[in-house]
């Protein structure tokens, strides 16, 4: 049982799009990631994904059928992307985010891309 | 699907020891609470509980068998109290915390006290 300082833990994350595990709670993983640029469109089958902005800002893009919309995420904002909803974070400048999702969830969801990460480092 | 600014949401929490639901994710609840003073010793059967300090500081007290120890929780610190572990938060000054635990978990765990809250407000 060790505490972890969340903002300080980002110093140990060397690059964007590399989620690190900060904590495990009831079969969920709390993950930290730096994001910069555009991720890939994806969704998570049957798994909700919570996003919280620790530092900076970004845009969460969503699409469903013929509709597409953006949510501007500012520092301190939290949003839950429900299971199966297509989404793509885009960060013009580096942004630090915290996520909560089922343990073992693939970061790129239903796709394998050059941003797919397995064996996530533990902080 | 709406975003919520976590620090700002505390303005809608009128008093200490009144957890409010900020989000639901995969059958977990993200709860916000102001804490001030001492809570009651308790544990949660089979349910882990994550604590994150949004603002201020407090002390998480733990006990197991004949042992008792404290962890000083500073702003930005996160800790997971594993299922069944006795704990008690103590805040000398008002502190704002975020928690993650199974939906429906009783805040006072195995006990019903004057701090027990059911029907948590949703932010």
Question: On the CB side of A99, how many CA atoms lie within 13 Å of its CA?
Answer: 26
Give the nearest partner residue to B28 out of A28, A62, A85, using CB atoms: A28
Band of the pLDDT at B94, cuts 50, 70, 90?
very high
Q: What percent of chain A has pLDDT over 70?
A: 100
Band of the pLDDT at A1, cuts 50, 70, 90?
confident
Pick the residue from chain B with its C-alpha nearest to A47: B26
Q: What pLDDT is stored for residue B100 in this prediction? A: 98
Selection from B114, B116, B108, B118 nearest residue B45 by Cα = B108
Selection from A44, A54, A110, A50 nearest residue B27 by Cα = A50
pLDDT at B98 exceeding the cut of 90: yes
Partners of A35 in the β-ladder? A95
Q: Is B51 part of a structural domain of the chain?
A: yes
* DSSP E strands, A1-123: 4-5, 20-25, 28-38, 49-55, 58-64, 67-73, 77-81, 86-102
User: Domain containing B43 — which CATH number?
Assistant: 2.60.120.10
Q: Is A114 part of a structural domain of the chain?
A: no
Q: Is B122 part of a structural domain of the chain?
A: no
CB B83 within 8 A of CB B47: yes
Distance CA A18, CA A33 (A): 6
Q: Is B89 part of a structural domain of the chain?
A: yes
Q: Which residues of A fall within a CB distance of 8 Å from B100?
A: 25-26, 28, 30, 100
Q: What angle do CA A19, A23, A27 make, to 5 degrees?
A: 100
Q: Is A41 part of a structural domain of the chain?
A: yes
Average pLDDT taken over every residue of chain B: 96
Q: Is A23 part of a structural domain of the chain?
A: yes
Eight-state DSSP code of residue B107: T
Instruction: Count up the domains in chain B and report the number.
Output: 1
Instruction: Give the domain extent around A29.
Output: 14-102
Q: What percent of chain B has pLDDT over 70?
A: 100
Contact A25 B80 (CB under 8 A): yes
Partners of B73 in the β-ladder? B58
Query: CA B84 from chain center: how many Å?
Result: 15
Write down the pTM of the prediction: 0.96
Interface test with B, best of A1, A7, A10, A26 (most B CBs within 10 A): A26
Q: How far is CA B41 from CA B38, B60, B86, in A?
A: 9, 11, 6
Query: CA B31 from chain center: how many Å?
Result: 7
Q: How far apart are the first and last CA of chain A?
A: 13
Predicted confidence (pLDDT) per residue in B53-86, tens digit: 999 999 999 999 889 999 999 999 999 999 999 9
Q: Which residues of A fall within a CB distance of 8 Å from B25?
A: 28, 48-50, 80, 100-101
Q: Is B44 part of a structural domain of the chain?
A: yes
Provide the 3-class DSSP secondary structure of residue B28.
Answer: strand
Q: What pLDDT is stored for residue B66 in this prediction? A: 87
Q: Is A113 part of a structural domain of the chain?
A: no
Distance CA B20, CA B8 (A): 13
Q: Which residues of A fall within a CB distance of 8 Å from B32?
A: none
CB B88 within 8 A of CB B41: yes
């Amino acid at each position: 049982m060790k505490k972890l300082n969340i903002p300080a833990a980002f110093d140990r994350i060397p690059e964007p799009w590399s989620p690190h595990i900060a904590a495990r709670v009831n079969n969920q993983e709390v993950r930290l990631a730096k994001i910069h640029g555009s991720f890939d469109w994806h969704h998570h089958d049957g798994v909700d994904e919570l996003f919280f902005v620790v530092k900076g800002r970004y845009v969460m893009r969503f699409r469903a059928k013929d509709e597409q919309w953006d949510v501007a995420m500012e520092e301190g904002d939290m949003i839950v992307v429900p299971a199966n909803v297509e989404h793509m974070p885009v960060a013009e400048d580096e942004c630090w985010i915290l996520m909560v999702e089922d343990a073992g969830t693939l970061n790129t969801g239903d796709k394998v891309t050059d941003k797919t990460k397995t064996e996530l480092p533990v902080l």
